[in-house]
Amino acid sequence: MSRRRTDYPLAETQPAHVRGPRGLSLEDITLERVLDGSVTMEDLRITPDALVAQGEIARDAGRPTLARNFARAAELVNVPQDVIMQVYELLRPGRARSRQQLLEAARMFREQYGATRIAAFIEEAADTYEERGLFTFRF
Amino acid sequence: MSVNRWKRYADWDERPLRLDKFAAEDPANGFSAFASPADPKPGIGIAGGRVVSLDGVLERDFDMIDRFIARHHIDIDVAPEAMAMDSRQVARMLVDMNVPREELVRLAHGMTPAKLAECVSHLNALEIAFAYSKMRARKTPGNQAHVTNAKDDPLQLAADAATAVAFGFDEIETTMRVSRNAWSNALACAVGAAVGRWGTLFQCSSEEAEELRIGMAGFTSYAETVSVYGTEKSFTDGDDTPWSKAFLAAAYASRGIKMRCTSGAGSELLMGFHEAKSLLYLEARCLCLQRGMGVQGTQNGGIDGAPVTATVPGGFRELMAENLIAVWLDLECASGNDARATESEIRVGAKIMPYLVAGSDLICSGFGSILKYDNSFNPSLLNGEELEDYLVLQRDFEADGGLTPLPEEKAMDLRRRALDALSAVFQELGLADPTEAMKQSVAAASGSDDTQSFMPRDVAFISEAIKERGITLIDVIKALARRGFTEEAENLLHLLKLRLSGDYLQTSAMIRNGRIVSAVNDPNDYLGPGSGYRVSEERRQELNAIRDVLDQKEVLRSEAMHEREEGTRIAYAAAGVARESDDPKDVVIGISPAFGLKLFQTTAGHRLSDVLRELTEAIRARGLLPRIVRFRHTADTSFLGLSAARLAGSGVGIGIQAKGTAVIHQRDRLPHNNLELFSNAPITRLLHYRGLGANAAAYALGEMPEPVVVPQRGEAMGSRYHARTAMIYAIETALTEEGAAPEAVTVTFTGGRS
């Protein structure tokens, strides 16, 4: 069932359902467990589920564009940082030398990470960049 | 006449205002706040379920910004209705308290940049402020601080972060003098901001990729330096596109880090690609773009472009107008009031006022909590120097500017605690070993000029080590806990746990008292008086608690201190009812009810014994006889003087209140038509009282002396003394008694001269 704005904030209304990538809930994450090493930064990363839930809340609160950003973000959660930074770099003006380079990045997101929204977004950029002449090298 | 200049202009030349430079309105060169001939007329074309023209530009001619707005911002279900509305009518709706915010937000989502700009252009400054107050997304106002210093000294960052948190800032932003110091700055501010309470969000403004890495290591909890621009050329010159920035926005959310974009009037002008469009129209494009990107909020209202915007006619009004468009689009707004746009303190105060009264998600997107020269972003509109002025403005207007006064002792405790905590972390992680002397110098320092601490080069080694060794906030938490800083460790862990739910990614989210407060669970519900944000009585008491507040108890305590001392210098003995005299040498000094009994010094700080001595000696010096009479039927200076004159054989009397206000009067004059008045007691010195006595004697001898003039240099006497004066006067009036007879007083000077 889709979350509504009355479910917000999730950390207060559904603390048991708020969990990290390895399944630890908010209650599980204590200073003691940080100290004994059983909680690491990995346990403090947001999950795609949480972003989907926040997207539902945003949509219910009348913020569809924010919801779409959360949906794109959900697709990026499990994408490694280096890949994200490479693709961000590729999207900057003059980095990609051709439309094809961006389309390849889009395919990689779609095929390796199931990131269909991100892929479509990059394809849209590829079309626009071609029309606006952004595939020119900037010294 | 050979004069060639009215010197008033020379006086004006010396005012800080003249350091500000002003630019002529020149739309062709981008110097136009609200309207330029190059601005398009609002318009939209929709066909086949998509936008085919936007503000007069056909789809095939769309630049990147047009296309992004058309694809991602415009709600095509609303656009036909919203674009068809008369802009004046929409402007009226913005200031109509009966039109709910949600309805206006719905319409904005169907409006083009030119339409939004046209609507707000119909509002004057007051209407913009009111509309802003009604339209901002979150109900409770907040504020953001800059915490930086000229040396990138981590000790000072920690101490200053702790004090900024205690002043109530909801967010802290740092940056560096030297970019490689980013990691050290981030760690130091994170630790400092964990002292005292948890929940202050923190960012470290640095290069895009680095900033995201620092965020992933846990040190920062939000970012706001993702800049967007209103022309395509500026955008690509800024080395980004709407798609690259939107991708970055998704990347931040995917790491559970709050983010807002930055835009603002003047940036395109400064970058040289303004297309001759008005500042407001270009910023409207930026804002539609940001909403389309799906960021929860914006930092706008000039920002780096605020100073150039302030040179243009209507510049300040434009900054308010662009903030209004931001909140109308339903974005969180960190509303500028950031880069210092003027050297004039009056312009500073005027700039901040509408925001203070209207409230804002973050009133300043960088209040300089440190001194101006320590601000690595450049000085803010308001800075450490002026922070108390701001606290007083909150109290004056009973307006919640997001800050709370901080008692001096508490500030020092927090600074020491932050310094100890950061030192412990540095030692535990083998990053550095700050000495006691370094810590002491920083604890006391108002700014980095006063510190003997780390220098930028030292910091580079610390920063590189944090980065190279992959130290995360978890390591910092462990270090704190191992060294007994359990509370700070818990506070930092709370911040990290925010990432799990993502609650603080929603629009206008901040943490108050350990709980998320955002536009979702604290929506602005303004619908007229009694609705929207109101300062609660509890909050009002907090705002009121500024330093050095005087009350009557304090006045009496101070007087009691002087009572003992005066007791050794003067004795007043009541000697029955005072009678009218017919001795022409008789000059009466009429003293007030509390004079020498409850009150012992003038507002200038002169002992009453000294004042009486000057008066009596000056009268005697002319061979006349001073006679002191206490009146209890009145405490008013004029009547004290007139009553004294009526008793005096010479027909001349002096009236004097304990606070030092005095008058020379003559028997047959009207009460307020005196001979000389000494109304500015705070600057009336003993030599003036001596002159007063001499002139009273001269009048008694039938002479026409030169009146004593107490020179004043325009001091705001009322602001300095009226609170105290009113309390003192109440002590006098409490002792008056209707019809009480004048009382002869024998005065004996028992001590030496001071």
Q: Give tens-digit pLDDT for B569-610.
A: 999 999 999 999 999 999 999 999 999 999 999 999 999 999
Span B523-552, pLDDT tens digits:
999 999 999 999 999 999 999 999 999 998
**Record: contact A69-B250, CB cut-off 8 A:** yes
Sign of torsion, CA B539 B329 B497 B181?
negative
**Record: contact A91-B241, CB cut-off 8 A:** yes
Look-up: residue for tokens 């300043």? B364
- Bridge-based pairing of strands B365-368 and B510-512 is unpaired
Token pair of B516 as six digits: 């998320």
The SS3 assignment for B516 reads: strand
Quick one: pLDDT at residue B715?
87
Q: Which residues of B are catalytic?
A: 144, 146, 173, 224, 299, 338, 365
Per-residue confidence band for B3, with pLDDT thresholds at 50, 70 and 90:
confident
Amino acid at the residue B171: E
**Record: contact B473-A76, CB cut-off 8 A:** no
**Record: contact B330-A85, CB cut-off 8 A:** no
Closest by Cβ to B72, choosing from A45, A65, A75: A65
Nearest to B131 by CA among B99, B154, B153: B99
Per-residue confidence band for B452, with pLDDT thresholds at 50, 70 and 90:
very high
Token pair of A79 as six digits: 């994408």
Burial class (CB in 10 A: 0-12, 13-18, 19+), B374: buried
Span B710-750, pLDDT tens digits:
998 888 889 999 999 999 999 999 999 999 999 999 999 99
Amino acid at the residue B277: K
Give Dmax over CA atoms of chain A in angstroms.
56
CB burial string A99-125: b at 16+ within 10 A, e below: beebbebbebbbeebebebbbebbbbb
| Predicted confidence (pLDDT) at residue B752 exceeds the cutoff of 70 | no
How long is chain A?
Answer: 139
Nearest residue in B to A81, CA atom: B213
Sequence-ordered list of residues with C-beta below 8 angstroms from that of B8, at least 6 positions apart, any chain: none
* Binding-face residues of B in 485-524 toward A, CB within 8 A: 486, 489-490, 493, 496-503, 505-507, 515-516, 518-521
**Number of other CB atoms surrounding residue B218 within 10 Å:** 26
B493, A34 Cβ separation under 8 angstroms: yes
Quick one: pLDDT at residue A135?
87
Quick one: pLDDT at residue B650?
98
Please give, one letter per residue, the 3-state secondary structure of B319-378.
Answer: HHHHHHHHHHCCCEEECCCCECCCCCHHHHHHHHHHHHHHCCCECCEEEECCCHHHCCCC
Shortest distance, CA B404 to any CA of chain A (angstroms): 26
Amino acid at the residue B425: V
**DSSP per-residue codes, B148-198:** --TT--HHHHHHHHHHHHHTT-SEEEE--SSGGGHHHHHHHHHHHTTSS-S
Cis preceding linkage at B40, omega within 30: no
Span B187-218, pLDDT tens digits:
999 999 999 999 999 999 998 889 999 999 99
CA distances from B622 to B581, B619, B646, B656, B701 (A): 19, 6, 21, 20, 9
Quick one: pLDDT at residue B80?
98
Tell me the pLDDT of chain B averaged across its residues.
96
Token pair of A101 as six digits: 């380079």
A74, A52 Cβ separation under 8 angstroms: yes
Question: Model pTM?
Answer: 0.95
Nearest to B533 by CA among B720, B739, B360: B360
Span B284-294, pLDDT tens digits:
999 999 999 99
Span B26-47, pLDDT tens digits:
999 999 999 999 999 999 999 9
How long is chain B?
Answer: 754
Test mutation, B220, B271, B500, chain A, max A CBs within 10 A:
B500
The share of chain B scoring above pLDDT 90, in percent, equals 95
Token pair of B487 as six digits: 């509370």
| Predicted confidence (pLDDT) at residue B9 exceeds the cutoff of 80 | yes
- Which residues of chain A fall short of a pLDDT of 50? none
Shortest distance, CA B682 to any CA of chain A (angstroms): 58
